[in-house]
Amino acid sequence: MAEEDAFPDDFVWGASTSSYQIEGAVDADGRGQSIWDVFSHTPGRVKGDETGDVACDHYHLWAEDFEWLARGGFNAYRFSTAWPRILPAGAGAVEPRGLDFYDRLVDGLMARGVTPWLCLYHWDLPQALQDEGGWLKRDIAQKFAAYARVVAGRLADRVHHWVMFNEANVHALCGYGVGSHAPGLTGLPNMLAAIHHQNLAQGLALQALRAEHSGLRLGTVISLQPVRPSSDAPEDHRAAQRFDAFWNGAFLDPLFNGFYPPTIADEFSALVAAGDAATMHQPVDFLGVNYYSRMHIAAAPHSLLGAWWGAVPRGLRFTAMGWPITPDGLYEELTTLRDRNGNLELYITENGACFDDRVAADGTVHDDDRVEFLRTHLAAARRALADGVNLRGYFVWSLLDNFEWTEGYSRRFGIIHVDFQTLKRTPKASFAYLAEAMARRG
């Protein structure tokens, strides 16, 4: 039996996307500016100075995209709501047309038998809040919880799976630490503040939704990837441990234990107030794991953390993003999480790969390298299941080729090809592969 045949009948098969990466229509229906609108329109920040102004125009083409979900046999879909569509100024007046759009998405998914998974934040902070300090200021935590209440007030009657954040770790490191993502800030103090205030905001939102609604499955999504030292050198071991503490531990420990990893806890002491531990330490019903690649970390004395990606073992293949292809790292991550969090309900909420797809003369895209990537990672997930991991689902990143942040549209992760001139969607061989794998589940 092939690996993908052996998943449980109730296994969740989904695809993930995010608002800024696919929606476009950045000025439609009262939407306010996000930090990614400002960042992408700042010359030199995004390859080719591309922006999410149009992206996949999912705002208008969502019905066609959902038809593909149905045709593929997906039973779930993770999307994110754009905070500035719903609260254009970040707080205060609600824009009903923003909520109406997500109403259309939810009803459109349910009409096609696809369960909506709603992510409240995938990096597109209202610029108006950034102007007041954004994730650097502690009061944003209350504003995030208020935003969560507004969204749940409209959609919790139909949406039962709620993700608080997508990859707060990547957002803090890239957006506030090294400046490669919006809002383009740098420095350890900025990153520490963004880490802590997202952890606080997450706790408050979980408390609010738990208190005000019943029957919801509440969780969050973190990019969780095993860290190894690039060499046996002591400085590389120290660098790997420090990077692991910031990338993985600074998000898992506050949520599941109420404290920061001991090796870095003192760096947060100026930010942590009485009661914060209890606020961050909230029960969740599931954890979403975004997995791409094992991380090989080396000492980098002049970098933000004194640690950065370094040499990788010989013989590995790479995706077009330069990420090593390490499916065994997914098995390692899942079994590590099984052992550290009481075998909590886990979902792979992102897994996929970027390759330089070629469109054949007949318009087909034979992305065999992406098929092989998905096959080997599904096999790793199946092996983890067989070893007792409480894995309940798999969401591919991504349904569509989309705006890959600072890489713009040059880096394609979709199982559906998007021609960004015509917006034509063409399912790739990987779409057919996943559809076949899911069909065999019955």
Angle subtended by helix axes 368-386 and 429-439, to nearest 10: 30
Nearer to ligand GCO, 176 or 268 (CB): 176
Task: Please choose, out of 164-172, 206-214, 240-248, 250-258, the segment that lies near ligand GCO by the rule CB under 6 A.
Answer: 164-172
Task: Please choose, out of 54-62, 91-99, 165-173, 359-367, the segment that lies near ligand GCO by the rule CB under 6 A.
Answer: 165-173
| 290 lines the binding site for ligand GCO (CB under 6 A) | yes
92: which residues sit within 8 A by CB, 6+ positions away? none
Compute the chain's Rg from CA coordinates: 20
Task: Please choose, out of 37-45, 78-86, 166-174, 179-187, the segment that lies near ligand GCO by the rule CB under 6 A.
Answer: 166-174
Number of residues that bind ligand GCO (CB under 6 A): 11
Query: Catalytic site residue 350?
Result: yes
Task: Please choose, out of 38-46, 162-170, 209-217, 376-384, the segment that lies near ligand GCO by the rule CB under 6 A.
Answer: 162-170
Which of the following is catalytic: 3, 23, 332, 350?
350
Q: How far is the CB of 163 from ligand GCO (least distance, A)?
A: 11
| 351 lines the binding site for ligand GCO (CB under 6 A) | no
| 236 lines the binding site for ligand GCO (CB under 6 A) | no
Task: Using CB under 6 A, pick the residue from 19, 33, 51, 166 that binds ligand GCO.
Answer: 166
| 404 lines the binding site for ligand GCO (CB under 6 A) | yes
Q: Give the angle 399-405-408 at the CA atoms, nearest 5°.
A: 85
| 167 lines the binding site for ligand GCO (CB under 6 A) | yes
Q: How far is the CB of 151 from ligand GCO (least distance, A)?
A: 19
Q: Which residue is nearest to ligand GCO (CB)?
A: 290
Nearer to ligand GCO, 52 or 229 (CB): 52
Q: Within 13 Å and on the Cβ side, how many CA atoms surround 372?
A: 10
φ, ψ of residue 428 to 5 degrees: the values are -95, 175
Nearer to ligand GCO, 109 or 221 (CB): 221
| 413 lines the binding site for ligand GCO (CB under 6 A) | yes
| 18 lines the binding site for ligand GCO (CB under 6 A) | yes
Task: Using CB under 6 A, pick the residue from 170, 265, 272, 304 that binds ligand GCO.
Answer: 170
Query: Catalytic site residue 267?
Result: no
Nearer to ligand GCO, 124 or 236 (CB): 124
Q: Which helix (H) or strand (E) holds 76?
A: strand 76-80
Nearer to ligand GCO, 268 or 405 (CB): 405
| 50 lines the binding site for ligand GCO (CB under 6 A) | no
Nearer to ligand GCO, 236 or 404 (CB): 404
Which of the following is catalytic: 3, 23, 95, 167?
167
| 320 lines the binding site for ligand GCO (CB under 6 A) | no
| 397 lines the binding site for ligand GCO (CB under 6 A) | yes
Catalytic residues: 167, 350
Tell me which residues touch ligand GCO (CB under 6 A).
18, 21, 166-167, 170, 223, 290, 350, 397, 404, 413
